[in-house]
Structure 1
């Protein structure tokens, strides 16, 4: 599946300004320069930077984000956006993005884009009002269009944050009340909400949720379930544990969360940080003190677009019986 990417309906035109780095001189086919780079102030101290995915012969390992030509963030290959934080209010910044491939080579920079953080507002504890009239429609099998009516704030709305299933996907400027969500899976139901943000980082209540289903397409049956799922049992300290292992779904981004179901009921949620495994993963959890208990277990992944993937095969395991 592809990573969710949001594209503003209107993009600012900023002159490109190329610059070179030492890695550019390396031989071989370097990753291309990221395209579609945008930068939008999210508050008085943050800017949201976004770009399109890059294809590279060796595969992209990560993206590097630069502020005024100094590197400020490294982003995994499956992510195409980042919030640059701890900025100064009322300040103009220039951003660019470069891709580094799996061979360690750094591609050329994207065009530079500028964003200015708004001035700080003292003692502003008043959140913007809820955006109204969230509507949308499927735009084929991999995209939807969203629009809403403007929120009101006692000072000024700086940006709107767009969420899918509780996962923040993107920010658009406070003057913008529409966006396009692309990179979705065919034949999939999504739930979107929108919140307004002011310069003091106060967030409004959410507009929505709005449920939309993309049209069926050639990728609708693509498998998103964890593969080669295995379940065994071991004893330790007078108790029994279930030992699970699986291969992470092949997605365009990193899977950091799994939901585990035991005997037909949700058992636990497993969340990794930045070091989430991209190939085989494993996890053990407590299953009680009684030997010979039969359990059914399966799991699924929360995909990078915020939706749940398919369930793995269900395995039966008996405590104290090994495999």
Structure 2
């Protein structure tokens, strides 16, 4: 026959017994994210000057999401970058010196991938007396490569000591670099059915950059089932002394007059252009003031209001410098 516990002992053990029973009946927490991302692929390294190397790679994959990348030189981490960045310049290097680079991907739980394959590059010999920039690349051409990439071609630039790299710019921002021996580049990571504007600059070993090439516009192929592109076309932007910028463009064909356009400056909404009379049927013109000091660079885009009241696609961007 089992004897009952004394009252004091029973009172003391009661809460403890309740905790034990609760722990046994409650399921443990779900395991956290312990799987690291895959190692980045397609890593390349290109010497751009006597002290810089341009490193690029393809996006890594993860069972949840890649949140950043780490760039290593000779096994030492030299850069921490967000997941949206797939290239970087490693600077401050010694001239005429070989270097080896690798990239690792990181996720939100702090898991880090294995290192990528190594890419090697040798910085160029130092040249302190070269102050002459290359000529601008000519005859820039662009063709869509599906809905998320584009292929660019150009005629080589000239330089008194030699072109070492070509930098591809989109809306005034460098997005790609290729060696000075290249006459073309494939740009990836674009959005379907989107208008882009590209320019190219040549660079020499002393980091002298050429003027921009001519601008080339390109619209990527739309996603399957997407409606036709509704972006304004042929946008030009010119600056006049005194802080005025004049835009000209051709409104999209929507089946009805386009009465409203939305102007974005440097990626932010600036104003809505509303015609006080009958909207133009051909080229449209709009002039607006800016208060920035001369030399300030702006990027301009437009989109039209469609007959159903929604806003259409953005035009290819244009860069303009305040005078």
Give the TM-score normalised by structure 2.
0.61
Alignment RMSD (CA, Å): 2.7
Distance 1:39 1:259 in 2: 34
Distance 1:30 1:153 in 2: 46
Residue 92 of structure 1 deviates from its aligned partner by 0.6
Residue 28 of structure 1 deviates from its aligned partner by 2.9
Residue 262 of structure 1 deviates from its aligned partner by 5.0
- 1:209–1:40 Cα change, 3 Å: same
Larger Rg: 2
Number of residue pairs the alignment of both structures matches: 214
Distance 1:149 1:258 in 2: 31
Deviation sequence 1:105-162 (CA, Å, 0-9, x none): 1110000010111101122100011112211211222221111111111001110000
Match in the other structure for 1:213: 219
Distance 1:161 1:171 in 2: 5
Distance 1:80 1:191 in 2: 20
User: Is residue 2:128 matched to residue 1:122?
Assistant: yes
Match of 1:160 among 166, 170, 174: 166
Residue 267 of structure 1 deviates from its aligned partner by 10
**Aligned runs of 1:170-319 on 2, under 5 Å?**
170-218=176-224, 258-262=267-271
Distance 2:225 2:204 in 1: 39
Distance 1:211 1:126 in 2: 29
Distance 2:74 2:135 in 1: 34
Q: Is the 8 A contact 1:185 1:220 kept in 2?
A: no
| Higher RCO structure (Cα 8 Å, ≥6 apart) | 1
Match in the other structure for 1:224: none
Distance 2:86 2:108 in 1: 17
- 1:105–1:263 Cα change, 3 Å: same
**Aligned runs of 1:52-131 on 2, under 5 Å?**
52-131=58-137
Q: Is the 8 A contact 1:135 1:148 kept in 2?
A: yes
